[in-house]
Structure 1
Amino acid sequence: MRLATYNIEWFANLFDKNDALIVDDSWSGRHDVTKAQQVEAIAKVLTAMDADAVLIVEAPNTGKRQNTVRALQGFAEAFELRTADAVMGFANDTHQELALLFDRTVLSARHDPKGGIEDGSAPRFDGEFRIDLDVDATEDIVEFSKPPMELALTTKAGNEVRLIGAHLKSKAPHGAESRDEAIRISIANRRKQLAQAVWLARRVETHLEQDESVILLGDLNDGPGLDEFEHLFGHSSVEILLQSGLYDPHAVRAHEFRPGSIPSTARFARPEEGRFLEALLDYIMISQDLRAFDPVWRIWHPFRDTVCWSEPEMRQALLIASDHFPVTLDIDL
């Protein structure tokens, strides 16, 4: 079985108010990329990956008229993808939803949020989480702007897995108009992201205590070397999740004392510097019991993955489709 996580930048811009695909020469949200070019590139990447289930991060919007599931299933039908069914969790107000495209002949998936009074642990992801972030004896109240999606997944072979899709708070100081304001926003965002990671970790720990298998995947917006404040709190969001009992070889490698070349899942233009910034942001973390099912991870990086590099059409599609690259996990479930 192949599972994937893929952050598709500005995916919502490719659908009209009735969730119909817009395939024309108007500009997408991607720089110098038309909607038709991005639509074709996304379809090429999804087809080439041939995953049994794909977490779409920044999926099309759900609102008064729009519906994420309808949009994704329409996209799958248009390009004859076998991942023709979609499921999502709690909708949010950011026009960046979390949803799973999956092949119903291989697995079933349903939204199954847990937490709070139900099991005496951390609250459901659409609730509030109370934590003292800075040891000042005052509780901070944390909410998710993009509540993680918690699914009950059952494979054709009968294996059951708790699958959690996440898109954690970005640490970027968006809207800052001065250096001091950028510092303040960056620190506040990092504190909130760490709190979200603790919330996720406690939900994971509850599932593990109940002898359930867990897969957590998505864009954690965290990795070594991303900003100058990463040592301020002593540990990263990724480290918090690894310490909860999860494993991802890319995350482990990146957090070694001397990691060497760090894997990358995203590539952002820095025109003012004349270069690109690469970062490890996207992960597929599994509980320790699943390591016995022959897991193999792969980052579909256009320049670092030899197969992607050797196929010019695939390489170009990855660069046009998004500023993130897919991560896949092949596992015998």
Structure 2
Amino acid sequence: MRLVTYNVEWFSHLFDKNDQLILDDKPSGRYDVDRYTQAVSLAHVFQTLDADAVMVIEAPNTGRRQRTVRALGAFAAEAGLRACEVVSGFATDTHQEIALMYDPAVLSAEHDAQSSPEAPRFDGSFEIDLDIDERPDRVRFSKPPLELAVTLHGGRTLRLIGAHLKSKAPYGVQGHDAIIQRALENRRTQLAQAIWLHRRIEAHMAAGDDLIVMGDLNDGPGLDEYERLFGRSSVEIIMGQELRDPHAQILSQPRPGSPPSTARFYDEDRKRFFRACLDYVMISKGLEGCNPRWRIWHPFEDAACYKDEVLREALLMASDHFPVSLDIDLT
């Protein structure tokens, strides 16, 4: 079985108000990429992945008229994908949803939001003292994680959680002090979201569930200087002792020799690209005996992706993130 997490930059920009693909030469949400090029590139990437299920981060919008499920269904039909069934969770105000595309011949999946006193439902709020002033702060997800109950064709069940944590980037402010203040505020919120998510993970472990957590966590061990102020990254908090992801474990080493990356961004000030590892597929201990194999489909770090010129170009045009796959022997 192949499971994939893929953050598609501004997927919503490729659909009209009736959730039909727009294949023209007008700009997409990606810099200097038109809608036709991004859509065709995405189709090629999804076809090459040939996944049993894809957790789409920044999936098309659900709003007054638009529906994530309908848009991704149209995309799957246009691209000829076997992962043609779609399930989404709580709608957001951001035009960036979380959804699972899957092959109905392999598995079934349903949105199954959970709640407990320690970890309320992800569309609610979570109280925690973020700044140690002995007063609880109320935290919400702008993009509530997608909780899924999954049943494989052979009858095996597992839980999937798709997550997109708050970005730490200090958008919307200028000036050195304001930028630092906003960055710290955003990191506190992100850490609170990570604690909230980890408490849900602990509940699943206590229930004996097999669990996979996947998505864009907007963080990674050793990613920035602010991490030293808080002790641990959001990724390390989520993973805890319960989950495993080899890329996160590499980054946790004091001096990783060749750190992996899942995203590539352009720095306008320095006129250079920079890389980051933000996307993960974490598995619970009960799945470690199922021969898990991880792969980051990075066109400049994965030799097979680089050698395939068409795929290499498609990956670069499709998104600023690259897919992360998990091949695992599940029946």
What is the TM-score of this pair, normalised by structure 1? 0.98
2:167 matched to 1:167?
no
2:206 to 209, 212, 223: 209
In structure 2, the residue matched to 1:86 is 86
Contact map agreement 2:113 2:146 (CA 8 A) in 1: yes
Q: Aligned residue for 2:245?
A: 248
| 1:269 corresponds to | 266
Do 1:25 and 1:36's aligned partners in 2 also have CA atoms closer than 8 Å?
Answer: yes
Cα deviation digits, residues 240-273 of structure 1 (max 9, x gap)? 0121511000001101122121100000011321
- Give secondary structure in 2 for the equivalent of 1:152: strand
C-alpha displacement of 1:29: 1.2
Q: Are 1:33 and 2:38 matched, yes or no?
A: no
Equivalence for 1:45:
45
Return the offset for 1:9: 0.2
SS at match of 1:113: coil
Cα displacement (A) at 1:238: 0.6
1:31: how far off? 1.2
Q: 2:124 aligns with which of 122, 127, 130?
A: 127
Instruction: Give the conservation status (yes or no) of the 8 Å contact 1:202–1:244.
Output: no
Correspondence 1:99-138 to 2 at 5 A: 99-116=99-116, 120-138=117-135
How many Å separate the matches in 2 of 1:224 and 1:139?
A: 27
Q: Secondary structure at the match of 2:162?
A: strand
Which deviations, in whole Å up to 9, do the C-alpha atoms of 1:144-163 show, x marking residues without a partner? Answer: 00000000011112211110
SS in structure 1 at match of 2:212: strand
What is the CA distance between 1:225 and its match in structure 2? 4.2
The count of residues paired between Structure 1 and Structure 2 equals: 330
Separation in structure 2 between the aligned mates of residue 274 and residue 218 of structure 1, nearest angstrom: 28
Whichever residue aligns with residue 137 of structure 1, its letter is E
Q: CA RMSD in A?
A: 0.9
Q: Is the 8 A contact 1:6 1:325 kept in 2?
A: yes
Name 2:197's counterpart in structure 1.
200
SS at match of 1:232: helix
Tell whether the 8 Å contact from 1:121 to 1:206 is kept in structure 2 after alignment: no
The worse-fitting range, judged by mean Cα deviation, of 229-238 and 212-221 is 229-238
Q: CA deviation at 1:226?
A: 3.4
Contact 1:204 1:244 in 2 (8 A): no
Separation in 1, partners of 2:35, 2:131: 44
The alignment partner of 1:272 has SS state of: coil
Q: Identify the match of residue 300 of structure 2 among 292, 299, 303.
A: 303
The answer on whether the counterparts of 1:205 and 1:244 sit within 8 Å (CA) in structure 2 is no
1:157-212 Cα deviation digits (max 9, x unpaired):
22111100000000000011111110010000000000000000000000000101
* TM-score, normalising length: structure 2: 0.98
Unaligned runs of 5+ in 2: none
What 5-or-longer segments of structure 1 have no aligned partner? none
Aligned to 1:258: 255
Identity %: 58
Q: CA deviation at 1:321?
A: 0.1
Cα displacement (A) at 1:228: 2.6
Which residue in the other structure is 1:13 paired with? 13
4+ runs deviating over 6 angstroms:
none
Contact 2:222 2:233 in 1 (8 A): no
Query: Would the aligned equivalents of 2:262 and 2:277 in 1 still touch at CA under 8 Å?
Result: yes
Contact 2:221–2:232, Cα closer than 8 Å, also in 1? no
8 Å contact from structure 2 (residues 222, 251) kept in 1: no
